[in-house]
Structure 1
Amino acid sequence: MSFLVGAILCLIFVFVPIRAQYTVPEVTIQGLNPKGIRVFLPDSSDNFPLTSFLFDGLLYKENAKTIAKENLVGRIWGFGAKQALGGWLFEDPFVELKLNQVIHYHVFVSTGFGDVGRPNSDGISNFTLPGYCVMNRVYVVNSLVDPNARGPQCGETATKVRGREVCAGETIFEDNFDTFRDDKWQIAHYIPIDHPEHPFVSYQRLQVNPTVTVENGTLRISPKLQQDLFQKQNKSILSGTLDLTSGCTELRTCAMSSIGVDIVPPIVSGRVTSARFAFTYGTIHVRAKLPQGDWLYPEILLEPLSKKYGSLNYASGVLKVAMVRGNTDVNTERYSNNWLVGGPIINSRCRSALEFYHKKIEGDSLWGDDFHIYSLKWSPEEIVLSVDGEEWGRYTPGATGLRSWLPASCRGDWFELLNNGGIMAPFDDHFYITLGVAVGGIVEFADGLTTGEQIPKPWRNRGRKAGFSFWQDKENWYPTWTQPDLLVDYVKVVAL
């Protein structure tokens, strides 16, 4: 049986239904005010990928009791376009609909590609397209919506993006690092003296031998020695001044001088943030190769934009998409490069209250040996961590919220502010993306660690000389920095 639709140029389209176990998805029809119609067809099963979608409707008068010729007003006909979010959308901006009008329609979908037959005596060829039909459906125009309203192809989502509306399943941020995009990323240039982990780094945007580069489709963030930069200026890390005032991205932390054991950060590193993009709820995927080397660790984070619950010690929270400490051989396994951790951090001093999920890589491999896809799904109900598509951690706050997981010893004056939020507080605000490399600090590496060479960790986390003691041990840790860079292949954020 053939379903004759119409002629275009020198072809007559002939649609040939196929007999198979397949159900054409139901379409969603939306009438627009003052003119227009949208018809959305959801995606089909993966076993039947669609190649085209045709809507063919006859428009009848308001309150028409019968599908009769005398009630016919016009025809609505055309092919739909494939949508980036999935499904197919047919639009006609010119048809004028009225309430209670009736549309009698057919839907045809194709799962293949057609053939052009030989021309007939009039020089016209049949174009035969195999597919599936839904015949004799009826839609009554019961409402007319603003053309700027959410379309039927744009599903409701809990995801929010600063400054715009988004749809379920929409890719709301993506960078494959074909080049460095200043419109997407800001390179940090400051001294993080108020960073709750107090890493032994300054973040600098260097013009020569930069810490942040893009090459061969990969973002590279490279830590360097501050002393190497100082030597070019005949300065010493033990007595010099680090002045990042020009171009400083954090005005309160732009310069410092070494005085006694309080030395400037011994490591220069890179950090980028999605300065113009922030979101609430969604799934972030980061394909990355993590740094290896003693006392290194990556920063693959979601950080709060407004810090409405406070800024001290992660009071407004931070979401670690993935974190692996760089030591390849250490006496306590959880601090080595085969131990993946991540998830929500509410208070940097008490992170062990939430860090009870981990994933150890199989065999003798290390996480930093190769690229992996690190994912974090953040919803109003839970936080789910995955690596290479495999779930390894799930945080579900329940009725009392994530804050209830913190023991009393972790709570301070800031804690009461969390009661102003919902069960996901403080993770119910806009967060932005951060990528970087940090070193040492007073949180990530416990006291008492030793490397495989039985060399003790050179600083105490509560010691006044932490950064100085770390620098004095350079001859032991620096030779292990054979792969100190964070490499990022892509970042992608998808709405729920």
Structure 2
Amino acid sequence: MFCIFKMQFMCLLFLMGCFVALVYAYEENDIQVIVKGKEVEISVHDNPEVKTFFFSMDIGEECTSDYKFVHNHEKNSTFFYKIDINKELRKDDSLRIIGIFETKDKVIAKTYDLIIDGSGRGVKQDIPKRSDCVLSETIVNSKEQPCSQVLIFKEDFDLGLSGWTYERRSRIFDPVPVQEFVAYVNNTYLYKGHLYLNANWVNDTYFRLDGCTSKHNGDKNILKRQCGPLSLRGGVTIPPVHSAKLHSSFTFKYGRVEIRARMPIGDWLFPYLILQPEGTYSEDNYVNHLRIAYARGNKKLQDNNAMPIGGDVLFGSAVLWSMNGSKEYMTIKRNLNEAPFGEKFHIYTLIWHKDRIIFKVDGLKYGTITHPDVLRTFDLNECFIVLGLTAGGGLNFRQDYLMPQQVKFMNGSVKATELFAENTKEKPWEQPNLVIDYVHVYTTHANEE
């Protein structure tokens, strides 16, 4: 996650080592970092023994080129340095300070790994000490992470959605029968540290989506279907549901993802908590992906073997596409005699290893995927995180998977959208939102279960 020590640091230590002893120890509260927009203030205080102070600063993945030398004390024997980094730091951004302190008879070197909190202060990360470090499998931005059990991505939805990008387009007839009966818009809001993704019915007779993110490759027909303008005449279908889907800029390969969320409740609603390979688009229709967890919104729903697959059944899966269509490798937890997964928050966990993918809920493991096709497919790329809420769809509610008498619309029919709206509106959605408390990603090691 962070840049490695630079050559200047090694040279500096060598030169100092010629006349002083090198020691790796220092008090925990010896440094203070405060961020004010593009300005970073660094203070070293309450230690009159320190004569000079060198430091280098790495911001996320960006390395600085050299060390700053601070000689003069401020009041109370405090070193103080203010630097303009030409980049505005935000909450949860990472910062590494490499400090070298010279006292009367020794040189002390220490690395500070910090996360910027909501007030702009640098807060120490809980990174294992070297003696406790278990080698990590995880890769971030093509760089191997040294230690496992380290938090590398933290989204608590306290301050905006700066690290996320919305998908904006209609999914009607795109393509049939995989279509979903929604248009993805910015249908979200933040409240008390929770992200709400909402689905609501609309009665529009005209559809046009400014800022459309369609990947139409110059095809004007696709562009019009996904972005508009469309008018309700001549057999044209207008999306009856508006919802939301967004994806992270953060990518990683191998690791532990934890999402605390409450599933939606309502017929044919479907949550997206997904890992999707870098190099693909959130807008792609036929794309391999890992489904961290999902529970369908229907309170009662059965497959064609009369097995329940409604809101009290949890799935984790991998979806692979080929010329023959999609294949889903599923793990299942049946929450029989308990409340549906939409009635309260649960922690959904996926642990992505090189040789297996583990699915957990509230700390309990309920499934593992070891199929070589799945492992080989997702070994190729880092993945980004997708969060979304949709309605219907031939992939999420396959016609050949459902008990026939329970579905009154055919995903591939010309009138599918109208029939979906007519039949679904008969029973109002009880809880038409996916609510997410947090998304955390940690480095993992080969033996983590």
Q: TM-score range by the shorter chain?
A: 0.5 to 0.7
1:192 aligns with 2:171: yes
Q: Given the alignment of the two structures, is residue 33 of structure 1 paired with residue 10 of structure 2, yes or no?
A: yes
In the superposition, relative to structure 1, how do residues 260 and 162 fare at CA in structure 2: closer, same or farther (>3 Å)?
Answer: farther
Which of the residues 348, 373, 394 maps onto 1:402?
A: 373
1:469 and 2:419 aligned: yes
Contact 2:259 2:347 in 1 (8 A): yes
Give the counterpart of 2:329 among 349, 354, 366: 354
Q: Indicate the residue corresponding to 1:249 in structure 2.
A: 213
Provide the residue aligned with 1:495 in structure 2. 443
- Opposite residue 490 of structure 1, the aligned amino acid is Y
Relative to structure 1, the CA distance from residue 353 to residue 201 in structure 2 (aligned partners, 3 Å threshold; closer, same or farther) is closer
Contact 2:138 2:144 in 1 (8 A): no
1 CA distance for matches of 2:354 and 2:334? 28
TM-superposed CA distance for 1:346, in Å, is 0.6
The amino acid of 2:269's aligned partner reads: L
Shift of 1:455: 7.5
| Alignment TM-score, normalising by the size of structure 1 | 0.58
CA distance in 2, matches of 1:467, 1:93: 74
Residue 259 (structure 2) aligns with: 286
Question: What residue number does 1:218 align with?
Answer: 194
In structure 2, how many angstroms separate the alpha carbons of the residues matched to 1:361 and 1:74?
62
Corresponding residue for 2:44? none
User: Is the deviation greater in 378-387 or in 339-348?
Assistant: 339-348
Answer whether contact 1:212 1:271 (CA < 8 A) is retained. no
Among residues 281, 294, 298, which one is paired with 1:323 in the alignment? 294
Q: Aligned ranges for residues 168-187 of structure 1 at < 5 Å? A: 168=147, 169-181=149-161, 183-187=162-166
Structure 1 pair 75–282 and aligned structure 2 pair: CA distance change class (3 A): closer
Q: Sort the Cα spacing of 1:251 and 1:287 in 2 relative to 1 into closer, same or farther, 3 A.
A: same
> Shift of residue 369 of structure 1?
1.0
- Shift, 1:152, TM fit: 7.6
Corresponding residue of 1:51: none
Please give the alpha-carbon distance, in whole angstroms, between the structure 1 residues aligned to 2:51 and 2:334. 56
CA distance in 1, matches of 2:265, 2:391: 11
Query: CA, structure 1 residues 73+352, in 2 after alignment: closer, same or farther (shift >3 Å)?
Result: closer
C-alpha distance after superposition, 1:363-395 (max 9, x if no partner): 141111110000111121111110001111101
Cα offsets for 1:196-222 (capped at 9, x unmatched): 8421101112xxxxx200001111011
SS in 2 for 1:354: strand
Q: Which residue of 2 aligns with 1:66?
A: none
Contact kept? 2:260, 2:346, Cα under 8 Å = yes
Q: 1:469: how far off?
A: 1.4
Q: Which amino acid aligns with 1:494?
A: Y
User: Alpha-carbon deviations, 1:458-477, whole Å to 9, x = none?
Assistant: 21133232212112224424
In structure 2, the CA distance between the partners of 1:269 and 1:34, relative to structure 1 (3 Å rule), is same
Does the C-alpha gap of structure 1 residues 268 and 427 become closer, same or farther in structure 2, counting only changes over 3 Å?
A: farther
* Aligned position for 2:275: 302
Pair 1:224–1:170, CA change in 2 (3 A): same
Corresponding residue for 1:388?
362
Once the two structures are superposed, what CA deviation does each residue of 1:288-343 show, in whole Å capped at 9, x if it has no partner? Answer: 000001110101111122039x95522xx101000111100234444310111122
Q: Contact (CA 8 Å) 1:159, 1:282: kept in 2 or not?
A: yes
Give the number of the structure whose alpha-carbon radius of gyration is greater: 1
* Counterpart residue number, 1:162: 141
Residues 137, 145 of structure 2: 8 Å contact kept: no
Secondary structure in 1 matching 2:250: coil
TM-score by length of 2: 0.63
Cα deviation for residue 251 of structure 1 reads: 5.2
Task: Name the SS for the 1:313 alignment partner.
Answer: coil
Verify the 8 A CA contact 2:292 2:359 in the aligned structure 1.
yes
Q: What letter is aligned with 1:436?
A: G
Where has structure 1 moved over 4 Å in runs of 4 or more? 72-75, 92-95, 193-196, 258-262, 348-353, 448-451
Change (3 A) 1:472 1:262: farther
Q: In the alignment, which residue of structure 2 is the partner of 1:459?
A: 409
Aligned pair count?
328
Q: 1:60 to 1:163 in 2, by over 3 A?
A: closer
Q: Note closer, same or farther for the CA distance 1:366–1:152 as it changes in structure 2 (3 Å cut).
A: closer
Secondary structure at 2:11 match in 1: coil
Cα distance change of structure 1 residues 201 and 171 upon mapping to structure 2, 3 Å threshold:
same
Same amino acid, percent of matched pairs: 26
Measured at CA, do residues 33 and 77 of structure 1 come closer, stay the same or move farther in structure 2, by a change above 3 Å? Answer: closer
For residue 286 of structure 2, what is the amino acid of its counterpart?
N
The Cα shift of 1:443 comes to 2.3
Q: Is the 8 A contact 1:339 1:359 kept in 2?
A: yes
- 8 Å CA contact 1:36, 1:93 repeated in 2: no
Secondary structure at the residue paired with 1:370?
coil
SS of the residue aligned with 2:419? helix
Q: Does 1:435 align with 2:387?
A: yes
> Matches of 1:260 and 1:336 in 2, distance apart?
37
Unaligned 5+ segments in structure 1 are 1-31, 38-58, 62-71, 83-91, 96-146, 206-210, 231-235, 404-422
